[in-house]
């Protein structure tokens, strides 16, 4: 009788893309650490000094540092990802626009989180504190997070999930940013898991 070990039935593979501090990527790693049917295969990063590299390294995730040339003007990154054949590509604070060749190769397999209620406050330049400054300046009464599929236009893909919070009186952009980040940490890993389980 032969016993096969190390085989994972219906293994779902995730590739993370990140550019900065990596707090969302770290939360995702922690959430999936004990899920035996999910494997975090690779971290793709365009900043060799990004804190996300150290934060995810302790979870033994392989990393790939990319530059503009390799990402946009060659097939190196696409070929690497095709070889892994991920169930999902997750943008966790990745600031570069995803090239169309990657979107076409993985339709409805790339998701992103945005710290505002799309379609408001999306598009080029709308990231980080810029978003929260704009929300406060426009005297919005609500903000929140949007998790969406990625298409060829910034922040215009199909919405998967939104969570709304009320903006407090005299709230600063920094205070709003802190509260929004907590929403991201709380909901992003769970929604990723739901997308994986849906098998879309």
Dist CA 188 CA 122 (whole Å): 18
Q: Which residues contact 78 (CB under 8 A, 6 or more apart)?
A: 101, 102, 105
Q: Which two tokens stand for residue 138?
A: 């426009």
Q: Which of 114, 132, 148, 185 is catalytic?
A: 114
The reply to whether 148 belongs to the active site is no
Element holding 196 (H helix, E strand)? helix 173-198
Dist CA 12 CA 44 (whole Å): 18
Dist CA 180 CA 174 (whole Å): 10
Which has the closest alpha carbon to 42: 100, 98, 83? 83
Dihedral over alpha carbons 193, 195, 199, 200 (to 10 degrees)? -170
Q: Which two tokens stand for residue 153?
A: 């236009």
Give me the helices (H) in 19-151, please.
23-32, 51-57, 68-72, 76-84, 100-105, 129-137
Task: Return the active site residues.
Answer: 114
């Amino acid at each position: 009788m032969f016993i096969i070990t190390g085989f994972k039935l219906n293994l779902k593979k995730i590739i993370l893309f990140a550019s900065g501090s990596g707090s969302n990527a770290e939360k995702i790693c922690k959430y999936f650490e004990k899920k035996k049917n999910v494997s975090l295969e690779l971290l793709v990063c365009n900043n060799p000094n990004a804190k996300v590299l150290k934060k995810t390294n302790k979870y033994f995730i392989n990393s790939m540092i990319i530059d503009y040339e390799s990402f946009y003007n060659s097939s190196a990154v696409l070929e690497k990802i095709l070889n892994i054949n991920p169930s999902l590509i997750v943008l966790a604070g990745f600031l570069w626009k995803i090239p169309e060749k990657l979107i076409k190769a993985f339709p409805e397999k790339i998701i992103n989180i945005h710290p505002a209620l799309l379609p408001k406050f999306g598009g080029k330049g709308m990231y980080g504190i810029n978003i929260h400054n704009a929300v406060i300046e426009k005297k919005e009464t609500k903000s929140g997070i949007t998790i969406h599929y990625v298409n060829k236009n910034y922040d215009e893909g199909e919405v998967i999930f939104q969570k709304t919070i009320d903006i407090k009186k005299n709230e600063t952009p920094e205070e709003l940013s802190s509260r929004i980040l907590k929403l991201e940490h709380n909901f992003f890993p769970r929604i990723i898991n739901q997308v994986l389980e849906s098998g879309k």
